Amino acid sequence: MTHTEENRNANRLIITAIADDRPGLVDDIVRSIEQVGCSIETVSVASLDTAVSLTLLLRIPDGGTTLLRAALVGLTVEHNIKIHVDDMPDGSLHRPDSHEENQPR
């Protein structure tokens, strides 16, 4: 991974949220994220029968991870939303040169 790729992903997280569908659900999640200073770069929403799944790519301000995690805990308690947080992958699984030793010759 190059230094530029490390910097690009350093302050980015992927959040997955799953909850029963209801009016205002997406707004509650987005508002909580934006109130702690995070920027939403990409959103994917899927309707799953009576549930909704949101996957969000976030840009986190320096020092904002703790505030974000506290906001997300609040969502899980107040609104019964299941939330999973991951670091942004570095992309190494998709680079052709990362698997050269496994290529047929």
Kindly list the domain boundaries of the chain, sorted by start residue.
7-88
CATH 3.30.70.260 fits 7-88, yes or no: yes
Does residue 83 have a pLDDT over 80?
yes
Q: What is the pTM of this model?
A: 0.74
φ/ψ (deg, to 5) at 10:
-60, -40
What's the pLDDT band for 3 if we cut at 50, 70, 90? very low
With 0-12 CB in 10 A as exposed, 13-18 as middle and 19+ as buried, what is 90? Answer: middle
Half-sphere exposure of residue 24, counting CA atoms within 13 Å on the CB side? 4
pLDDT of residue 63: 87
- Mean pLDDT confidence for 59-72: 92
Q: Count other C-beta atoms under 10 Å from residue 71's C-beta.
A: 19
